[in-house]
Chain A
Amino acid sequence: MTDARYDRAPGDISISAEAKERTLSDVGIYTIGLALAVILTATSFWVANTSLLWAPGIPLGLVVLAIAQMGVHLIFFLHITTGPDNTNNVLALAFGVLIVTVVVAGSLAIMTNLNDGMMPAELMNLHMQH
């Protein structure tokens, strides 16, 4: 630990004093992350192929599993924490997530709306003949 409280570099596993207080080894953190990611991935593949679940809810379930796995990767592999030395990293990530949400949700909402507003193909053909 240096003599100042610097931020932590993104992706850097803690080399500060708190690392010595941790009961879990660095390898243990990655291994837990791998185990959780494997469980979530296997669940995703099962959910996509099973007939036990209510079919219209499956895409939503898959999205929830993907968000959970993204969280596992961020915490166990990229070592993003809520600590004060991580504030800048988290703020940058939050801004990225905001832009991604705006781009994806906005595109889908606009295109769905345009599709709904479009004349059906048969009517369009009829219209073009006159």
Chain B
Amino acid sequence: MNIAVAVDDVRREALPSASEAGPAPKRIVVAYGFWIFLLSDIVMFSALFAAYAVLVRATAGGPAGAQLFNQVSVAIETACLLVSTYTCGMMSLAVNARRRAATYFFAVVTFVLGAAFLYLEVREFADMIARGATPQRSAFLSAFFTLVGCHGLHVAAGLAWLAVMMAQVAVRGFRASVERRLLCFALFWHALDIVWVWLFTVVYLMGVRP
């Protein structure tokens, strides 16, 4: 067993380390930079989450979460976003394999699911506002619309980005620059789903409990 480990080490040590070989390829640098951006974006979301958690009881006599949230709608939104994350991963694999038709197919599925999520969310907001639960009504509702709306804006930006990327694949093909952007898009889309996991847990599931 020790021998096997030793042999493995020799094989690895035979390769020059990254610092000796010069700067890392651009794909790694770009994706790492985007990873740092995503983490800073998540830090921003954490501030909105903290504000929401502090203000969740400050309903000023207005409606509370338990009267406003529709769990069925939230479950469908969650399913849309989760499956779209999966199809986004399938799209990444199709891009790596340079399969153009599969890339388009999974991009379209991802786009449709993301658009369905956004439609349900906008309908939920419109329904709440029609019932008088506007952002001006209470500190709780201000925090709710800021937090959930900010995630919705990110999803809308992601949809626009995905449409642009498909245009780039169509016009420029699988160029290195286009592949780097597609990698960043996949990171962005997966990160949005992680934020949504916390959203439906903290806002909707904890919110419906008395």
Contacts and interface: CB of A to CB of B under 8 A. Distances in A.
B24 A66 contact: no
Nearest to B186: A11
A70 to B, nearest CB: 6
A48 B194 CA distance: 19
B21 A3 contact: yes
B39 to A, nearest CB: 4
B161 interface: no
Contacts of A78: 187, 190-191
A13 B47 contact: no
Given A11-B186, A34-B86, A73-B190, A92 B36 contact: yes
Interface string B109-153: 000000000000000000000000000000000000000000000
Contacts of B186: 11
Interface string B169-210: 000000000000001001100110110011011100110110
Contacts of B30: 9
A12 interface: yes
Interface in A76-107: 77-78, 88-89, 92-93, 95-96, 99-100, 103-104, 106-107
A7 B205 contact: no
A119 interface: no
A106 B53 CA distance: 12
B60 interface: no
A129 interface: no
Contacts of B200: 41, 44
Nearest to B189: A77
A50 to B, nearest CB: 11
Interface size class on chain A is 35 or more
B197 A73 contact: yes
B35 A65 contact: no
Interface in A8-48: 8-13, 15, 26-27, 30-31, 33-34, 37-38, 41, 44-45, 47-48
Nearest to A34: B86
A111 B54 contact: yes
Contacts of B201: 44, 62-63, 65-66
Given A30-B90, A66-B197, A73-B193, A89 B206 contact: no
Given A11-B190, A70-B197, A3 B50 contact: no
B12 A5 contact: yes
B101 interface: no
B204 to A, nearest CB: 8
Interface of B: 12, 15-18, 20-21, 24-25, 27-28, 30-32, 34-36, 39-40, 42-43, 46-47, 49-51, 53-54, 71, 75, 78, 82-83, 85-86, 89-90, 92-93, 96, 183, 186-187, 190-191, 193-194, 197-198, 200-202, 205-206, 208-209
5 contacts: A13-B96, A45-B71, A66-B198, A92-B39, A107-B54
For the complex of A and B, list the 3 residue pairs with the smallest distance between their C-beta atoms, beginning with the closest: A4-B21, A9-B31, A96-B39
Given A3-B15, A9-B27, A10-B187, 4 more contacts: A9-B28, A9-B31, A33-B89, A77-B85
